[in-house]
Structure 1
């Protein structure tokens, strides 16, 4: 399968106003390190600054940004989630956007899509969020297509039993009579009692699609 080359927009920058309980000196050191590209040091300082106010939204936003920039996408996710508690719509919009980026990089495409959508609810004009939403939707489809292809290949390696072969023959007779739903139900029932019926999964999938189309026309 040909890979699609994509670009994801840069993360939004840290912010600089915090609750009184946040260690201002550590936070300033973190901001300085971040601006210099020393993201490991920035993350350490931001984490230390949060000791007195672990739920501060703005400080968590910065900590999440540093974790993201140093490639720690998995741990950036719960940190950005803490930033979502901010009463400030702009900060929450930025946090949803960055959360989407972290989830995207962690290959959590469904969750990334939800984050970008929420960012767009707060700012419908955010072209970067729109761009990344489209990328996440594309990557999710590619992932689902690949999983389906892998499953089909796995099913191709299954040797169907005599029961499974006879079941398919009966289903094909039903298909010739245009009884697609009955044929699908027959195969599904057989699959529950004989796992080798999965050798005909592609046939079962087609039956389901045709049965659903026929239901629409009824």
Structure 2
């Protein structure tokens, strides 16, 4: 995801002058920002949480806490923090919170949830090119995931031939080598009636039948 760091830094810096932070100890916030910019995630988180004690419902502080939690890969906690930030009346902050929720969901491989978060971010800011980029990226990931699951399901559905079926095919291959296509085909058909796993060699049976149909039987 290509924008998470840039957005968080911009918001953190801008927040030092927001009226909504009037009840917050600015020194605590400043130290949290400095720690964050120095990639001292534990220190930043501690500072932001300490500042939150002054204003427990402040959405900007919850956003900052979510940012630090994200960097610490505490994704479940980050989701909760961004959810609280979304309650803000500040549309810009709300849009960024939805965007970052999308990033968190992406890291957790929860692609449908990430898509919904990016869509909400775009509802608030249709011109957000990064949100559009990430939305398409996640959609591609979801499609890839579905394709892999389909392949796995198909593999599970593949028939495992029994030893009898394997021996029967070996006999049929000998007949094919002798150009006794009809005999090989009949042998496999008879085997199908007594052992359903002979169907694992359906491609072989079909090829023999094709040879017979074009006049190759003896």
Structure 2-normalised TM-score? 0.64
- The answer (yes or no) to whether the contact 2:4–2:100 under 8 Å persists in 1 is no
From 76, 79, 95, give the equivalent of 1:93: 95
Tell me the distance in 2 between the aligned counterparts of 1:73 and 1:86: 21
Q: Output the aligned Cα RMSD.
A: 2.5
Q: Does the 8 Å contact 1:23/1:50 carry over to 2?
A: no
> Could you say which residue in structure 1 is the equivalent of 2:80?
78
Structure 2 Cα separation of the partners of residues 82 and 48 of structure 1 = 17
- Note if contact 2:59-2:88 (Cα within 8 Å) is conserved in structure 1: yes
> Deviating runs (4+, > 6 A) in structure 1?
none
Greater helix content: 2
- 1:10: Cα distance to partner? 3.2
Residue 43 of structure 1, CA deviation: 1.2
Structural mapping, 1:195-210, within 5 Å:
none
What are the ranges of 5 or more consecutive residues in structure 1 without an aligned counterpart? 1-6, 160-218
2:27 maps to what in 1? 25
Q: Give TM-score scaled by structure 1 length.
A: 0.64
Most deviating of 132-141 and 65-74: 65-74
Distance (whole Å) between structure 2 residues aligned to residue 117 and residue 124 of structure 1: 9
Other-structure match for 2:111: 109
Q: Which runs of 5+ in 2 are unaligned?
A: 162-218
Measure, in 1, the Cα distance between the counterparts of 2:160 and 2:123.
47
* Residues 1:142 and 2:144 are matched in the alignment: yes
1:21 CA drift (Å): 4.6
Q: Greater CA radius of gyration, 1 or 2?
A: 2
> How many aligned positions are there?
156
- CA pair 25-144 structure 1, distance change in 2 beyond 3 A: same
The structural deviation recorded for 1:123 is 0.7
